[in-house]
């Protein structure tokens, strides 16, 4: 019942689409991250405590635990977690689904500073198979946050006392490992060699740009080479609006953009939602090759699934950008390469879709610059060597870590079929729509799509820098 109440709570404010009813368990941070398709640190976990025998809730980043010293300084008593069998009675949600929404009356909610690192986070929604996709500001609003506090300690941090203890433990374990004997070492070496060969086989197949690593460029190249992924802007806009608008309006939409042509925001949003739903349905048909057995022989099936998934995501990104005012994107392959400007623009798009820090500001700044008439060559310079390029590199780095984990998790854990939840150990059917929704929400309010747009200071500074690029 908790999930239904939380969903109703968000629906009343027009946010029902953000609530996810997951097919897979989200009861732990790791399970939630896999089910949603995000980094574990982006999971906003809600912990319940008794303070003076009254329940409180503290929401922390997924990679953060309670620092007992900080907690005592904040609440003037030791941390006392609510026992597992008392959680539902105390706060109104079952263990595994505890969240800061629709709790029992009078329970204060505190947000830990560890959450401020992210643009978007994913708290539970009242059940062990749920999540809500929120910005940190939205989390603060909808949780009814009492205040922000600093009681967390990220994994890997330690006090000096703990550090000394860890060193002692490390020495002890070191001696223990040495005493195990050569047989175990030989078995471990053999297993490691087998795993290394399998990993290298995966890299050889997925490494589309030939740099010896798995990175976001590989996924974009694989995706763009999928038949039917490249979208002709003019044909797309004509096809979507010809039923409801006269020819002169459609031609102006192609020449300028839909908003400038007088196509209503409601009609643009409607087409955007249809695009997202269509591409999501396409994702549901992806083969479950990564779930098959077959060891290294299975490697050949990996690119097909990745190509389809990222192909559909890139196709959705192109359509959304055209609907909300961006010019034609050159997705045609020249020789064995794609245009660097196109590659970096799509990296930014995927960064927005996955909530990577800085990507949202970058795409809004580019829209502002384009809305002010910045020349194409200046935009290209900003994307490939100037103002936007550092963000491109930052987003690429984030994906480099994340995608490698996904590919190897999918290969070695034999991920289950996509409708059930997973491709590549974390790329999920259920996460596809939230990713597209993030891009849609970002593009809905830019200078290209909304003449009354009021951006952030960072956005305007970046757009001005784009206009002053040295080509």
Could you state, in order of their start, the residue ranges of all structural domains in the chain?
Answer: 2-152, 171-203, 207-467
Using pLDDT thresholds of 50, 70 and 90, give the confidence band for residue 204: low
Q: Which span out of 10-24, 130-144, 188-202, 328-342 was modeled with the highest average pLDDT?
A: 130-144
The pLDDT of residue 334: 56
Among 38-47, 64-73, 171-180, 395-404, name the one with the lowest average pLDDT: 171-180
Please report, in angstroms and rounded to a whole number, the separation of the first and last CA atoms in the chain: 59
The pLDDT of residue 398: 83
Please say whether the structural domain 2-152 has been given the CATH code 3.90.960.10.
Answer: yes
Exposure of 219 in the CB half-sphere (CA atoms within 13 A): 25
Report the predicted TM-score, pTM, of the whole model to 2 decimal places: 0.55
Res. 366: pLDDT tops 60: yes
Res. 399: pLDDT tops 70: yes
Using pLDDT thresholds of 50, 70 and 90, give the confidence band for residue 373: confident
The pLDDT tens digits of the residues spanning 234-253 come to 999 999 999 899 999 999 99
Strand 120-123 with 43-51, pairing: parallel
Res. 262: pLDDT tops 70: yes
């Amino acid at each position: 019942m908790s999930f239904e109440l939380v969903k109703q709570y968000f629906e009343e404010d027009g946010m029902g689409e953000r609530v996810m009813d997951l097919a897979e368990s989200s009861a732990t941070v790791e399970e939630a991250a896999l089910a949603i398709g995000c980094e574990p640190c982006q999971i906003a976990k809600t912990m319940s405590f008794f303070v003076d025998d009254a329940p409180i809730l503290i929401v922390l980043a997924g990679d953060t635990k309670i620092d007992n010293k900080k907690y005592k300084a904040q609440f003037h008593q030791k941390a006392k977690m609510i026992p597992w069998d008392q959680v539902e009675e105390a706060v109104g949600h079952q263990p595994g689904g505890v969240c800061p929404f629709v709790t029992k009356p009078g329970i204060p909610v505190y947000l830990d500073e560890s959450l401020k690192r992210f643009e978007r986070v994913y708290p539970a929604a009242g059940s062990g198979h749920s999540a809500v996709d929120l910005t940190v500001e939205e989390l603060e609003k909808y949780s009814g946050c009492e205040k922000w506090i600093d009681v967390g300690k990220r994994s890997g941090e330690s006090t000096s006392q703990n550090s000394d203890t860890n060193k002692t433990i490390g020495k002890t374990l070191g001696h223990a490992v040495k005493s195990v004997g050569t047989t175990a070492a030989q078995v471990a070496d053999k297993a490691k060699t087998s795993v290394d060969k399998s990993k290298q086989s995966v890299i050889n197949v997925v490494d589309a740009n030939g740099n010896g690593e798995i990175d976001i460029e590989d996924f974009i190249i694989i995706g763009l080479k999928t038949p039917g992924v490249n979208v002709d802007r003019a044909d797309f806009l004509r096809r979507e609006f010809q039923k409801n608008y006269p020819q002169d309006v459609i031609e102006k939409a192609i020449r300028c953009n839909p908003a400038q042509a007088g196509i209503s925001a409601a009609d643009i949003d409607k087409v955007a939602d249809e695009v997202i739903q269509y591409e999501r349905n396409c994702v549901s048909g992806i083969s479950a090759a990564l779930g098959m057995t077959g060891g290294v022989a299975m490697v050949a099936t990996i690119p097909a699934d990745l190509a389809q998934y990222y192909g559909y995501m890139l196709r959705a990104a192109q359509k959304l950008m055209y609907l909300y005012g961006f010019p034609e994107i050159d997705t045609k392959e020249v020789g064995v390469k794609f245009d660097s400007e196109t590659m970096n623009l799509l990296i930014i798009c995927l960064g927005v879709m996955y909530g990577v820090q800085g990507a949202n500001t970058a795409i809004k700044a580019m829209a502002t610059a384009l809305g002010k008439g910045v020349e194409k060559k200046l935009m290209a310079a900003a994307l490939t060597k100037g103002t936007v390029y550092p963000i491109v590199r930052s987003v690429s780095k984030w994906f480099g870590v994340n995608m490698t984990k996904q590919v190897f998790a999918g290969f070695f854990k034999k991920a289950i079929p996509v409708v059930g939840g997973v491709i590549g150990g974390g790329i999920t059917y259920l996460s596809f729509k939230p990713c597209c929704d993030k891009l849609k929400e970002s593009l809905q309010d830019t200078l290209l799509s909304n003449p009354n747009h009021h951006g952030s200071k960072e956005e305007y500074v970046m757009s001005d820098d784009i206009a002053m690029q040295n080509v």
